[in-house]
């Protein structure tokens, strides 16, 4: 009997028992698995063991890897070990969200920001286009979306099922008397090298991001390069939309560089997740898989590769759209997911973030960006270029009065500039632990 069907049978039996007797169960790796939805399991995933302990159906995306493999015939095995399932666009996890039960999929945005070369080819810093590894062994047909299959080991690496696919809840620094610290999404053990803009209403952001494979010291640490679209009081009601690339052994089980998204409407407390690991983001694109490995990657003093990401608010529907490159409209975060971002963003950030767990009592050697400091420049340090914001007229323009921020510039740093085809740009990153960063 195939593993997917045997697990489903066991899971279905277990679900019936648990629904009748209890509302929580101890996870084998510790932590409470609360289950307020035990009487309402995910409709498409109710046969899977983990669904019994899911909260409000939000973990259907994380729990259905085996179920999908049994139900959908079309899949692709990536050279890196990932399995990409081709799921019908109407069967994705987004529709388990209580606010999206009767949501009608918007298959394309009503408007693109003016000034964005949608559908046009553009010369980049490399001659070989960025792809994803799974493309080597297949593609998904129209009408479906590619979903990276979640494995049992992916879930067991986390402290509990409820925390799988989520960032840890932030602890916020005390604001300065004049204005808040720009690092408003900082949390204990996290360090940044960012460029930011605030003081206006923002309706999107864009950047072209150099892609590397930074080294990670501990499996529970990560390194990412992304942009944040932020709204709220920067307390417990923070709204955030995030997109970029990351290396996260704890989340994915390897050190590959992967495309990712994240969202939250309550400062990383209960809402939101990475990629499609919970309900929320609605994907319409059949070519690009969130959470899948990016290829090729930049090499020191050699070929350089980058990806372009645009996120903007549709002026008509109010949904927040994401585009990858010039040709791939990925999908959108529906307006009902957010409170403050239902209007506009109040801050945009671009840059890098790492986790510094100080596991051996010293600063981590986890790298940010390329692992080299900004002053080394092109081909050696990682960069963001053509950073732009979307204004109230749905036009892309250069941000004004850019600020920079880093907690320890001897560990990771950032340097800005502006020139020609690169527009507003910055180099960022660093090696972490070094003689000046013990």
Q: Which ranges of 237-387 does DSSP label H, i.e. alpha helix?
A: 249-252
* Distance of alpha carbon 149 from the chain centroid: 16
What is the side-by-side order of every strand in the sheet holding 223-231? 258-264, 239-247, 223-231, 345-355, 190-202, 403-406
DSSP character at residue 331 = E
Closest C-alpha to 61, from 161, 185, 208 = 161
375 is catalytic: no
CA distance between the termini of the chain: 54
DSSP 35-104: -TTTTS--TTTTTSGGGGG-STTTTHHHH-HHHHHHH---EEE-TTS-EEEEEEGGGSGGGGSGGGTTPP
Instruction: Round to whole Å and give the CA distance between 146 and 84.
Output: 6
Asked if the bond preceding 83 is cis, omega within 30° of 0, the reply is: no
Residue with tokens 């996260």: 248
| Token pair in block for residue 377 | 């420049």
Residue with tokens 């990806």: 307
242 is catalytic: yes
Residues forming beta bridges with residue 210, ordered by sequence position: 306
Marked catalytic residue, from 198, 221, 242, 349: 242
| Token pair in block for residue 73 | 């015939």
User: Do β-strands 75-77 and 24-26 pair in parallel, antiparallel, or remain unpaired?
Assistant: unpaired
Marked catalytic residue, from 198, 221, 349, 353: 353
The catalytic residue positions are 242, 353
């Amino acid at each position: 009997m195939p593993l997917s069907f045997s697990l489903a049978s066991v899971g279905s039996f277990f679900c019936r028992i648990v629904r009748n007797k209890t509302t929580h169960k101890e996870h084998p790796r510790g932590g409470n698995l609360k289950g307020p939805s035990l009487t309402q399991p995910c409709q498409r995933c109710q046969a899977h063991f983990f669904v019994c302990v899911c909260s409000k159906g939000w973990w259907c995306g994380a729990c259905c890897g085996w179920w999908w493999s049994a139900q959908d015939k079309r899949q692709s095995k990536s050279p890196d070990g990932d399995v990409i399932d081709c799921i019908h666009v109407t069967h994705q996890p987004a529709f388990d969200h209580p606010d999206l039960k009767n949501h009608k999929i918007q298959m394309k945005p009503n408007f693109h920001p003016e000034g964005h070369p949608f559908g046009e080819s553009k010369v980049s810093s490399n001659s070989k286009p960025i792809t994803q590894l799974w493309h080597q062994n297949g593609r998904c047909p129209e009408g479906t979306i590619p979903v990276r299959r979640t494995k049992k080991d992916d879930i067991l690496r986390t402290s509990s099922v409820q925390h799988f696919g989520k960032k840890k809840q932030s602890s916020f620094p005390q604001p300065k008397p004049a204005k808040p610290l720009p690092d408003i999404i900082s949390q204990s053990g996290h360090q940044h090298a960012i460029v930011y803009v605030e003081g206006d209403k923002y309706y999107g952001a864009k950047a072209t991001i150099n892609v590397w494979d930074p080294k990670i010291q501990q499996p529970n640490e990560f390194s990412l390069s992304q942009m944040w679209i932020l709204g709220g009081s920067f307390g417990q009601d923070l709204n955030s939309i995030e997109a970029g690339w990351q290396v996260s052994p704890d989340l994915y089980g390897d050190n590959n560089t992967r495309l990712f998204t994240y969202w939250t409407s309550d400062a990383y407390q209960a809402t939101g997740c990475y990629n499609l690991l919970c309900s929320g983001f609605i994907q319409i694109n059949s070519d690009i898989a969130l959470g899948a490995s990016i290829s090729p990657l930049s090499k020191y003093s050699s070929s350089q590769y980058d990806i372009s990401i645009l996120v903007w608010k549709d002026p008509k529907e109010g949904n927040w759209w994401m585009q990858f490159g010039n040709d791939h409209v990925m999908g959108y975060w529906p307006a009902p997911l957010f409170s403050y971002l239902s209007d506009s963003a109040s801050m945009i950030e671009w840059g890098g973030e790492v986790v510094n767990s100080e596991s051996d009592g010293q600063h981590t050697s986890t790298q940010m960006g390329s692992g080299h400091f900004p002053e080394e420049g092109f081909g050696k340090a990682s960069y963001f270029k053509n950073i732009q914001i979307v204004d109230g007229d749905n036009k892309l323009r250069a941000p004004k009065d850019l600020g920079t921020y880093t907690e320890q510039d001897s560990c990771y740093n950032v340097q800005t500039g502006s020139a020609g085809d690169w527009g507003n740009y910055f180099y960022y990153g660093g090696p972490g632990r070094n003689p000046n960063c013990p």
